[in-house]
């Protein structure tokens, strides 16, 4: 189910939050509204963590992660690092990496199996990504843009890319990512997909300017209509219960 | 280009996305909305004028462009479209792509123009939109029409053309010249006066232009004056009436002149008796005995303004008895002359007495015994000229022949219409007092027409029109042996709209 919300009157939800299948990071806003909508949707299933990165609120664009791990830029302070290590589940590996392109959220777009990265990323960073996140890494561009993390958003079930992507590019990306892709817009015609929305396997959050058409496209490509959180979390809970016992 | 460098480029086909508002499938654009949704979102014609009032003068069909210019334009014409677009404010914010008229009833006083404009909206997409502007036409008389309405005879500048001679030949010729060059199109009124013509204009510059035109075709001297009509002390506007007094030189073609001694000397001792052969803006003088010719500028003439000794009124007919050519034919200033000794007798003397004159003439190439010639009778003339009297010991010939006469042949053609005709200026003529003056005018006009027939160079500057009423008859064609007549090629055919003949000539 896709939800529409705003962060302090800005529709760029993907800038101020990061949603994965195992956790959700939220920026610290003036009021609790932003946080409480996430809580409302996700409370039972995954932890919702309030944080800042490097003292900033644009956490969605600075970090990249999936259910296996979370990568943070070198600007992250030690306290933030510790806070995140404490709040997130143990199987999520939190790693701070040294990378010249520090806006990792703009440079890396990933789901639980595959990641697309900025073509100019360092070799060591690429290895780190493969290691920490447990994914296969591909250097790509989306519709001629090198900031793949901004112009596409995908989960394990589908993905949405920049509207000017040609059909050949779409086919190529779809083959790489092994998920169905569609070119579309978010927030009333905005092309910066990942900044305008954030998505995981069963839910999505979009800016409040998103039109009904865009919302229906998002729901159909990410297959959000039939998805129930309980199905996925069941697998996790089994393992949790096992460890207690 | 990368393709030329041999790099393999994947052909890119543009995909389609859903319009973010209405969900219709479309090619992606900068705003990612289909055109209809974009149009409903954004109205680029906001803030542009849709309703304008324009002022129109019903008399002269002009539209007012403030503050003062009146532009003449027909309905649905290019000028009107340009004018309408100029009257729109704020049109520089958008780019105008196309404009056209939408038909409205001519007397509905509404003009509708459809404009297509382009503007950049939302993230660089350019949107094109058309809209209709309605112009309401309000009637208001323009300044010139209202002035004419208030006082139709109101003139601002007048040109008074005068020539102090007893005939009107020059004015007939001038009339034709003015018609040909349209010099008097701006004249409000033309009035025929004693010894001249008055032209009235609405604008001083028109009058100045007319005076300059006359100065180019005739030797004139002029002066100008102005008279204060009204004065607005607040805005310091002065309204004047300007008058130009133009005097034409009294010397005409074929006049016999006795040059004053100083002029004769300054022209290189040209024999004091000369004949004027051509008058344009300079006077051409020919010495009939030595066949020397010279030109006098208008300024030069007016410095020593001499009058002719004998004018063409005083030409009498001579009959040629014998011709003996002295020198071969020469070509001077475009005309041919041949000096010859001729024996002539006055037609009035012929048969009655034996008065015969032996004179030198330059018409040797034209005359043969039995011909008639026109010339000045110096033997019997009584002249009253200071310059003439001032010469002592001047040998004066008894007769000077000027031109060959075609009178005999004309007798046969009398009463038959010519194959050509001339147009006339519409002058106001005063009612003539007596019949004698009328007849005099008619004979002068007749002589003028004959002059035109005989002189091709005079016809050069004049437009002749074919006379539709003329039917060439069998008899006339056989008689026209060496009778000078105007070849048909020189005639301009009138325009076909025969009912508008007069209008075509005087259209402005």
Q: Which ipTM was obtained for this model?
A: 0.75
Query: Which residues neighbour A221 within 8 Å (Cβ) at sequence distance 6 or greater?
Result: A158, A159, A160, A180, A181, A182, A184
The pLDDT, as a whole number, for residue A196 is 94
User: Tokens 């962060």 — which residue?
Assistant: A7
Tell me, what's the pLDDT at B498?
Answer: 39
Which pLDDT does position B473 carry in this prediction? 54
φ, ψ dihedrals at B35, nearest 5°: -60, -40
3-state SS, residue B499: helix
The model's confidence at residue B500, banded by pLDDT at 50, 70 and 90, is very low
Indicate whether B29 and B51 sit together in one domain.
Answer: yes
Task: Output the average pLDDT for chain B.
Answer: 82
What digits encode the pLDDT tens for the residues B46-62? 888 889 999 999 888 88
Contacts of B31 in chain A (CB under 8 A): 189
CA-to-CA distance for A189 and B23, rounded, in angstroms? Answer: 12
Q: Using the 3D structure, point to which of B405, B424, B444 is the last residue of a domain.
A: B405
Give pLDDT tens digits for B108-133: 999 999 999 988 887 777 888 889 99
- Kindly indicate the confidence band of residue B335, based on its pLDDT and cuts at 50, 70 and 90: confident
Please say if the pLDDT value at position B412 is more than 70: no
Interface test with A, best of B20, B21, B29, B38 (most A CBs within 10 A): B20
Query: Is the model more confident about B476 or about A140?
Result: A140
Of B10, B18, B31, the CB nearest to A213: B18
Which residues of chain A are under the pLDDT cut of 70? 227-245
Confidence class for position B10, pLDDT limits 50, 70, 90: confident
Q: Can you tell me which residue has the tokens 């036409």?
A: B137
Q: Name the residue facing B20 among A168, A183, A213 (closest C-beta).
A: A213
Residue B262 in any domain: the answer is: yes
Of A168, A190, A216, the CB nearest to B13: A168
Q: In this structure, are B238 and B272 located in the same domain?
A: no
CB pairs under 8 A between A and B: 51
| Phi/psi of residue B39, nearest 5 degrees | -65, -35
Q: Touching check for B21 and chain A: CB below 8 Å?
A: yes
> What is the C-alpha separation between B497 and B495, in angstroms, rounded?
6
pLDDT higher than 90, residue B93: no
pLDDT at residue B508 tops 60: no
- pTM for the model: 0.53
Q: How would you write chain A as a 3-class SS string?
A: CEEEECECCECCHHHHEEECCCCEEEECCCCCHHHHHHHHHHCCCCCEEEECECCECCHHHHCEECCCEEEECCCCCHHHHHHHHHHCCCCCEEEECCCCCCCHHHHEEECCCEEEECCCCCHHHHHHHHHHHCCEEEECCECCECCHHHHEEECCCCEEECCCCEHHHHHHHHHHHCCCEEECCECCCECCHHHHEEECCCCEEEECCCCHHHHHHHHHHCCCCCCCHHHHHHHHHHHHHHHHC
Q: Which of B19, B28, B31 lies at the smallest CB-CB distance from A164?
A: B28
Q: How far from chain centre, in Å, is Cα B272? A: 37
Out of B17, B21, B31, whose CB is closest to A211? B21
Contact B32 A185 (CB under 8 A): yes
Extended strands (E) in B122-248:
125-139, 157-162, 187-193, 196-201, 220-232, 237-248
Bond preceding residue B67 cis, omega within 30 of 0: yes
Whether B63 is in a domain gets the answer yes
Q: Residues in chain A whose beta carbon is closer than 8 A to a beta carbon of chain B?
A: 163-170, 183-185, 188-191, 211-214, 216-217
Do both B161 and B227 map to the same domain?
yes
B15 and chain A in contact, CB less than 8 A? yes
Between the ranges A117-121, B67-71, B486-490, where is the mean pLDDT highest? A117-121
B440 shares a domain with B335: no
CB atoms within 10 A of CB B96: 13
The confidence score (pLDDT) of residue B290 equals 85
Query: Is B408's pLDDT higher than 70?
Result: no
Q: What is the pLDDT of residue B474?
A: 45
Same domain, B66 and B118: yes
Mutant choice from A141, A168, A186, A189 vs B, greatest count of B C-beta within 10 A: A189
**Closest-CA distance of chain A to residue B22, Å:** 7
**B220's tokens:** 């004139």
Chain CA centroid to CA B9, Å: 73
Task: For B269-318, write each residue's pLDDT tens digit.
Answer: 887 888 998 888 889 898 888 888 899 888 989 998 888 888 888 888 88
Q: Is any Cβ of chain A less than 8 angstroms from the Cβ of B40? A: no
In terms of domains, do B182 and B263 share one? Answer: no
Which residues in chain A are contacts of B12 at CB distance < 8 A?
166, 168-169
B15 within 8 A of A166, measured Cβ to Cβ: yes
B125 at the A interface (CB within 8 A)?
A: no
Could you tell me if B243 and B263 lie in one domain?
no
B227 within domain boundaries: yes
Q: Which of A22-26, B350-354, B393-397, B470-474 has the lowest mean pLDDT?
A: B470-474
| CB-CB contact of B306 with B293 (8 Å) | no
What does the pLDDT read at residue B479?
A: 42
Residue B400 lies in a domain: yes
Partners of residue B32 in chain A, C-beta under 8 Å: 163, 185, 189-191
With bands split at pLDDT 50, 70 and 90, how would you rate the model's confidence at B507? very low
Cα–Cα dist B28/B34, whole Å: 9
> pLDDT band at residue B482, thresholds of 50, 70 and 90?
very low
- Cα B458–Cα B459–Cα B465 angle in degrees, nearest 5: 155
Asked, for residue B501, whether it belongs to a domain, the answer is no
Give the chain B residue whose CA is nearest to the CA of A183: B17
Task: Give the pLDDT band (50/70/90) at residue B480.
Answer: very low
Smallest Cβ–Cβ distance between A166 and the set B15, B18, B20 belongs to: B15
Residues B389, B281, single domain; the answer is yes
Q: Give the separation between CA B287 and CA B294, rounded to whole angstroms.
A: 9
Angstrom distance (rounded) from CA A84 to CA A69: 11
Residue of A163, A170, A209 best to disrupt the B interface, most CBs of B under 10 A? A163
Q: State the pLDDT at residue A234.
A: 55
Residue B11 contacts A where some CB pair is shorter than 8 Å = yes
Residue B331's pLDDT is what?
Answer: 81
* B17 contacts chain A (CB < 8 A): yes
Largest CA distance in chain A: 53
Residues 6+ apart with CB under 8 A from B388: B258, B272, B309, B394
The answer on B157 and B233 residing in a single domain is yes
Each residue of A113-137: b (16+ CB within 10 Å) or e? ebbbbbeebeeebbebbeebbbbeb
- B60 touches A: beta carbon within 8 Å: no
CB A203 within 8 A of CB A42: yes
Number of domains in chain B: 4
What's the CA gap between B38 and B33, in Å, rounded?
6
pLDDT band at B169 (very low <50, low <70, confident <90, very high): confident
**Chain A environment of B14 (Cβ under 8 Å):** 164, 166-167
pLDDT tens figures, B226-243: 999 888 889 988 888 999
Residue B6 lies in a domain: no
What does the pLDDT look like over B183-219, one tens digit per residue? 888 888 888 888 899 999 988 999 999 999 999 989 9
Q: Which domain holds residue B117?
A: 17-139
Please tell me the distance from the alpha carbon of residue B411 to that of residue B403, in angstroms, as a whole number: 18
Q: How close does chain A come to B15, measured CA to CA in Å?
A: 5
Name residue, tokens 């001499």: B306
B70 shares its domain with B106: yes
> Are residues B446 and B390 part of one domain?
no
The residue ranking higher by pLDDT, B499 or B1, is B1
How remote is the C-alpha of B393 from its chain's centroid? Answer: 48
Which of B228, B248, B268 represents a domain boundary (last residue)? B248
Residue at B507 is within a domain: no
* Cα four-point dihedral sign B88, B94, B98, B102: negative
**Which token pair is B152?**
């139709």
Which chain A residue's Cα is nearest to B30?
Answer: A189
Among B107, B139, B171, the domain-final residue is B139
Q: Is residue B98 part of a domain?
A: yes
Verify that B272 and B389 share a domain, yes or no.
yes
């Amino acid at each position: 189910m896709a939800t529409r919300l705003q962060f302090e009157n800005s529709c760029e939800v993907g800038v101020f939050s990061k949603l994965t299948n195992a956790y959700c990071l939220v920026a610290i806003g003036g009021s609790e509204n932003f946080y409480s909508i996430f809580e409302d949707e996700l409370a039972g299933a995954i932890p919702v963590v309030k944080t800042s990165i490097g003292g900033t609120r644009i956490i969605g664009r600075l970090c990249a992660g999936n259910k296996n791990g979370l990568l943070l830029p070198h600007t992250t302070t030690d306290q933030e690092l510790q806070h995140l290590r404490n709040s997130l589940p143990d199987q999520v590996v939190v790693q701070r990496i040294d990378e010249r392109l520090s806006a990792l959220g703009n440079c890396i777009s990933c789901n639980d199996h595959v990641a697309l990265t900025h073509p100019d990323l360092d070799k060591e960073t690429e290895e780190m990504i493969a290691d920490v996140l447990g994914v296969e890494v591909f250097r790509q561009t989306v519709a001629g843009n090198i900031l793949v993390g901004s112009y596409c958003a995908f989960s394990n079930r589908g993905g949405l890319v920049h509207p000017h992507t040609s059909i050949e590019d779409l086919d190529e990306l779809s083959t790489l990512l092994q998920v169905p892709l569609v070119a579309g817009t978010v927030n009333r015609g905005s092309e910066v997909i990942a900044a305008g929305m954030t998505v995981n396997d069963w839910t999505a959050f979009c800016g409040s300017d998103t039109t009904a058409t865009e919302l229906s496209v998002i729901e159909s490509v990410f297959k959000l209509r039939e998805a129930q959180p309980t199905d996925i979390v069941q697998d996790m809970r089994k393992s949790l219960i096992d460890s207690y016992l | 280009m990368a393709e030329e460098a041999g790099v393999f480029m994947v052909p890119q086909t543009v995909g389609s996305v859903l319009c973010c508002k209405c969900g219709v499938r479309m090619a992606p654009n900068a705003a990612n909305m289909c055109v209809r949704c974009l149009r409903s979102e954004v109205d680029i014609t906001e803030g542009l004028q849709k309703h304008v009032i324009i002022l129109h003068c019903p008399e002269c069909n002009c539209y007012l462009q403030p503050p003062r210019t009146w532009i003449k334009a027909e309905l649905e014409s290019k000028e009107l479209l340009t004018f309408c677009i100029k009257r729109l404010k704020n049109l520089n914010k958008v780019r105008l792509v196309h404009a056209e008229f939408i038909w409205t009833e001519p007397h509905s006083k509404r003009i509708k123009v459809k404009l297509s404009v382009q503007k950049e909206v939302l993230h660089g997409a350019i949107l094109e939109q058309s809209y209709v502007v309605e112009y309401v036409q309000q009637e208001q008389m323009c300044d010139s029409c209202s002035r004419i309405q208030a006082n139709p005879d109101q003139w601002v500048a007048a040109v008074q053309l005068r020539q102090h001679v007893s005939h009107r030949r020059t004015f007939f010729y001038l009339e034709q010249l003015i018609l040909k060059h349209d010099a008097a199109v701006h004249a409000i009124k033309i009035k025929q006066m004693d010894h001249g013509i008055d032209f009235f204009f609405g604008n001083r510059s028109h009058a100045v232009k007319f005076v300059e035109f006359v100065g180019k075709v005739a030797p004139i001297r002029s002066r100008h004056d102005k008279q204060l009509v009204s004065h607005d002390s607040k805005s310091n506007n002065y309204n004047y009436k300007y008058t130009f007094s133009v005097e034409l030189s009294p010397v005409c073609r074929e006049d016999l002149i006795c040059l004053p001694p100083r002029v004769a000397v300054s022209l290189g001792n040209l024999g004091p008796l000369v004949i004027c052969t051509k008058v344009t803006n300079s006077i051409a003088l020919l010495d009939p005995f030595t066949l020397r010719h010279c030109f006098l500028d208008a300024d030069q003439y007016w410095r020593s303004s001499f009058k002719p000794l004998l004018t063409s009124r005083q030409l009498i007919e001579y009959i040629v008895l014998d011709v003996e050519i002295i020198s071969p034919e020469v070509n001077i200033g475009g005309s041919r002359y041949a000096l010859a000794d001729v024996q002539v007798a006055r037609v009035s003397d012929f048969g009655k007495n034996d008065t015969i004159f032996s004179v030198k003439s330059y018409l040797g190439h034209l005359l043969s015994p039995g011909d008639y010639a026109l010339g000045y009778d110096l033997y019997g003339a009584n002249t009253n000229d200071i310059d003439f009297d001032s010469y002592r010991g001047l040998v004066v010939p008894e007769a000077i022949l000027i031109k060959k006469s075609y009178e005999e042949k004309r007798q046969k053609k009398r009463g038959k219409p010519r194959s050509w005709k001339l147009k006339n200026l519409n002058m106001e003529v005063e009612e003539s007092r007596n019949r004698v003056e009328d007849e005099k005018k008619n004979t002068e006009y007749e002589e003028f027409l004959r002059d035109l027939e005989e002189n091709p160079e005079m016809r050069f500057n004049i437009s002749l029109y074919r006379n539709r009423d003329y039917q060439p008859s069998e008899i006339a064609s056989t008689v026209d042996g060496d009778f000078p007549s105007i070849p048909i090629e020189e005639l301009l055919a009138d325009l076909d709209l025969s009912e508008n003949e007069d209008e075509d000539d005087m259209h402005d």
